């Protein structure tokens, strides 16, 4: 029997965390974070990591599992997430995979086979030096020439994934996007995927407000502390939203007001890319909300998921 898995996706700031927690209360669930930045310790405010109070007693997994200077790949995430999902179900709880990192989510629910693609550290080092010399946009253009599909979904600052895509093409002769398309789309899970969305004006307003709250909560001090701990601005973890925008302010290159405006703009652009990724997946059942998630939305998702996943007939 396939393990039932509820997946909650959507753009940043739309309310995935709150929704996952409230649905978990209704369905005896535990949350598995699908956020490529929340895996890092000491990076709380900038990743919108839910604190203990916000989690409302619901266990959260795959948060705070590596240090900012440790390598952590989508293959690592896939292995850990699949193990955690099985453990949750074997304890008679419903696993709820929730987050906005589409590649992480699809790697888990579609069981991507990463063992079939090569790893070459010398090639990676060579590409990193090119990126340092010419910038991420240069490497992204190289990728666009061999894999425009993968290039379209990546940001120039996401050097790790750009280099990985170039590496796969270099040593297999095939684009990473082709490897992904050829995965067995028969998921190992019994899925119900809920997608949260809202009109763009409302979403962008929430994003701008979230950034302002992050600043008020101490994002600048969080970034300053990371640098004081010795974590380089060049680390992949430090290139995440909320960190790469604040570092120039701490270096005296921009004003705080400019840094905030850039962060808000970059976050809006990121949300747009997230929506583009998720809208390709026809398995997603979209829930359009005009405000932060309310009780009716929670009830709708919980009741529909229970029916689709056969929870009453299984363990829950």
Phi-psi domain of 112 (left: phi exceeds 0; alpha: psi -120 through 50; beta: other): beta
Q: Strand 60-61 vs strand 29-33: parallel, antiparallel, or unpaired?
A: parallel
Please give the helix or strand (H or E) that residue 3 lies within, else none: strand 3-9
Report the pLDDT averaged over residues 91-105: 96
CA 148 to chain CA centroid, Å, is 21
Question: What's the pTM value of the predicted model, to 2 decimals?
Answer: 0.83
Q: Which of 125, 119, 115, 132 is closest to 170 using CA atoms?
A: 119
Q: What pLDDT, in 10s, does the model give residues 174-192? A: 788 776 666 556 899 999 9
pLDDT > 60? residue 217? yes
Q: What pLDDT, in 10s, does the model give residues 112-159? A: 876 556 567 788 888 988 998 899 899 999 999 999 988 888 888 888
Please report the domains of the chain, with CATH numbers, ordered by start residue.
3-112+183-313 (3.40.50.300), 115-181 (1.10.20.140)
- Geometric angle at alpha carbon 103, from 98 and 109, rounded to 5°: 60
Count of all residues that appear for the chain in the document = 316
Q: Where are the beta strands (DSSP E) in 127-250?
A: 189-197
């Amino acid at each position: 029997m396939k393990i039932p898995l509820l997946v909650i996706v959507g753009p940043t700031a739309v309310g995935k965390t709150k929704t996952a927690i409230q649905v978990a209360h209704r369905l005896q669930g535990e949350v598995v974070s699908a956020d490529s930045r929340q895996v890092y310790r000491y990076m709380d405010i900038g990743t919108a990591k839910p604190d203990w109070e916000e989690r409302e007693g619901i266990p959260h997994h795959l948060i705070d599992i590596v240090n900012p200077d440790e390598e952590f790949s989508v293959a690592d995430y896939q292995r850990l997430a699949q193990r955690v999902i099985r453990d949750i179900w074997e304890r008679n709880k419903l696993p709820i995979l929730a987050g906005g990192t589409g590649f992480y989510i699809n790697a888990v629910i579609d069981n991507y086979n990463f063992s079939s693609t090569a790893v070459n550290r010398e090639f990676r080092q060579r590409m990193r030096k090119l990126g340092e010399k010419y910038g991420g946009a240069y490497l992204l253009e190289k990728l666009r020439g061999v894999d425009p599909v993968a290039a379209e979904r990546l940001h120039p600052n996401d050097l790790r994934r750009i280099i990985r895509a170039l590496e796969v093409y270099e040593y297999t002769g095939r684009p990473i996007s082709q490897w992904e398309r050829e995965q067995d789309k028969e998921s190992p899970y019994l899925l119900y995927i809920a997608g949260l969305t809202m009109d763009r004006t409302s979403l962008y307003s929430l994003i701008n407000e979230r950034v302002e709250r992050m600043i008020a909560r101490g994002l600048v001090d969080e970034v300053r502390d990371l640098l004081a701990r010795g974590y380089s601005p060049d680390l992949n973890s430090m290139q995440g939203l909320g960190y790469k925008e604040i570092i120039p302010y701490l270096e005296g290159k921009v004003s705080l007001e400019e840094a905030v405006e850039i962060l808000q703009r970059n976050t809006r652009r990121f949300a747009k890319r997230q929506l583009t990724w998720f809208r390709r997946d026809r398995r997603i059942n979209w829930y359009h909300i005009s405000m932060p998630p309310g009780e009716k939305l929670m009830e709708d998702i919980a009741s529909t998921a229970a029916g689709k996943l056969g929870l009453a007939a299984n363990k829950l």
